[in-house]
Amino acid sequence: MAGQSGELKLLGMFASPFALRAKLALSFKGLSYEYLEEKDLQNNKSELLLKSNPVHKKVPVLIHNDKPVCESMIIVQYIEEAFASVGPSLLPSDPYERAVARFWAAYIDEKLFSSWMMVFRGKTDEEKAEGTKQSFAVAATLEGALAECSKGKPFFGGDSVGYVDVALGGFVAWVHAIEKLYGLKVFDAGKTPLLAAWLERFCALEAAKAVMPEVEKLVELAKMRQAQAAAAAAAAQGN
C-alpha cells in the first residue's frame, strides 16, 4: 500500500467490540494488515497472543514490525500517530478539541460497556433493571456529547469520522445484537435522536461495513453463552 511502511498484524476476535475499534481505525485510514482471529479465547489462547500481550492476554493486539501495541484506544492513537501521513486524521489538530475527544472516549470506556454488562450478566431482575437504567443515562449523556462535538455535522469528528466515532463504533454491532436479543433499543430514536441517526450513518459507511461482524453471529454467541451460564448455574445448584 502506497505510503504504508512496515508490516501490520491484528490479533482479534469477531465478537469483540474492542477488536472492532482497531479494525475500524485501520479501515478508515486505509491501512492493510494481516488479521488473525483468536478462535478460542476462553480456553485456548494462541502463542502469539500470550507472547504479545503477556500482561492482559486480551485482544486486540496490533503488531507493527513485530512490536505489539495493546488496549483498543491506545492502538487507535498509535495508528493515528505512526501513520500520520496515511489517510485521514482521526483526531483534530487543536489540543483542546483533542482533549474533548479523549475525554469522551474515556467516558465511553468507563460507562457504556459496564452498564451493558449489568444487563447481560445481571443475576437478578433488579440488577438487569439497574443496568438498563444506567445504559439509558449513558446514552442520554452521549447524546449531549454528540451535539457538542459534531456541531450539527454528521459525526463526533465533524464531517468525517474521528476518535470518538471509533470508540463508540466498536459497539454498534452489539447495539444491533442487543435489540435482537432483548428488544432493547440502546440508541432509541425517541430518546436519543442524534445517536440513532449517527448509528445509521456510521453503519452505512463503506469502511465500517467492510469490517462489521454479522449481527446474527453475535446473537448466536450471546445465546450460547447464556445457555452455558444457565447450565453452569443449574449444575452448581444440583450439587
Partner 1 sequence: MAEKGVKVFGMWASPMAIRVEWALRLKGVDYEYIDEDLANKSDALLRYNPVTKKVPVLVHDGKPIAESTVIVEYVDEAWKDGYPIMPADPYERAQARFWARFAEDKCNAALYPVFTTTGDTQSEVVREAQRCLKTLETALEGKKFFGGDAVGYLDLVVGWYAHWLPVVEEASGATVVTDEELPLLKAWFDRFLAIDVVRATLPDRDRLLALNKARREQLLAA
CA torsion, points 6, 202, 139, 216, in degrees to nearest 10?
Answer: -90
103 binds partner 1 (CB under 8 A): yes
Q: How far apart are CB 125 and partner 1 at their closest, in Å?
A: 28
Return the C-alpha cell found at 229. 451460564
Q: How far apart are CB 26 and partner 1 at their closest, in Å?
A: 15
Length of the chain: 239
Binding window for partner 1 (CB under 8 A); candidates: 13-21, 96-104, 170-178, 208-216: 96-104
| Residue of 82, 181, 194, 203 interacting with partner 1 (CB under 8 A) | 82
| Cα-Cα-Cα-Cα dihedral sign, residues 40, 45, 47, 50 | positive
| Residue of 46, 89, 141, 160 interacting with partner 1 (CB under 8 A) | 141
233 binds partner 1 (CB under 8 A): no
The 180-209 contact track toward partner 1, x by CB under 8 A, reads ------------------------------
Residue 187's beta-bridge partner residues?
none
User: Of the two residues 147 and 233, which places its CB atom closer to partner 1 in the complex?
Assistant: 147
User: Of the two residues 98 and 128, which places its CB atom closer to partner 1 in the complex?
Assistant: 98
Nearest CA among 13, 139, 31 for reference residue 85: 31
The DSSP line for 71-101 is SHHHHHHHHHHHTTTSS--SS-SSHHHHHHH
Cβ(83)–Cβ(74) below 8 Å: no
Binding site for partner 1 (CB under 8 A): 55, 64, 67, 69-71, 74-75, 77-78, 81-82, 95-96, 98-100, 102-103, 106-107, 141
